[in-house]
Copies of this chain bind each other. A is one copy, B any other.
């Protein structure tokens, strides 16, 4: 399941609208839109739904979190090997709702790489974006916490900050692909994000809580193609 850009990455969070069969429906919609448009759409379900969804769709499936651990005595934590074995191809790390100790982000990125998982490490401002880039993840997703879940898009509310985040990420580590997120609900938001230099978006409620997730995703994917 190739992860390519531009990417629309849908974080299911722990919304009731995304548990089990409901999450599978969203993944099916994402798969259809991805096939229609050629735009990469990935989903990040809850841990207990990873395998079921990864087995059911041909789009990239991400975990929402991994722990920086090796196989062993870590009851209840999320082993990178288990995530990879379930069929996921990548993982979010350090989402603003699940922040990690700095050394643990570093170790989680290493562990993900060892087991073949792509990493999307989240950042909350310019300085933290630069710090994240130094840790060498595949993607850095800049998300200002105060806009998450608001419907006010980072790409229109703070265009200059997105531009600067992209710049510092590129400067510190040109191999890291910049994404942005927070408040993204429309195709225009996605297009604006791409025009600011990102190669994709991370979003959640804009799709998961939409009345018609497929419609929103079509709108977003088609907008992404306009860039």
Contacts and interface: CB of A to CB of B under 8 A. Distances in A.
Contacts of A52: 51-52
A78 B172 contact: no
A148 to B, nearest CB: 7
A203 interface: no
B149 A128 contact: no
Nearest to A98: B76
Interface string A127-158: 11011111110000000000011000000000
Interface residues of A, number: 63
A135 B123 CA distance: 12
A77 B99 CA distance: 11
Interface stretch (A14-22, A191-199, A214-222): A14-22
Interface string A65-85: 100010111111111011101
A163 interface: no
A97 interface: yes
Given A13-B72, A65-B76, A97-B76, A106 B128 contact: yes
A124 B95 contact: no
Which of A46, A49, A78, A88 has the most B CB atoms < 10 Å from its CB? A46
A186 interface: no
A34 interface: no
Nearest to A44: B75
A135 B134 CA distance: 11
A78 B86 CA distance: 16
Nearest to A88: B48
Given A102-B132, A103-B99, A76 B49 contact: no
B128 A74 contact: no
A75 B98 contact: yes
A96 interface: yes
Contacts of A11: 75
* Cβ-closest 10 pairs across A and B: A65-B76, A47-B47, A130-B134, A16-B71, A131-B131, A64-B76, A76-B98, A14-B79, A75-B95, A48-B86
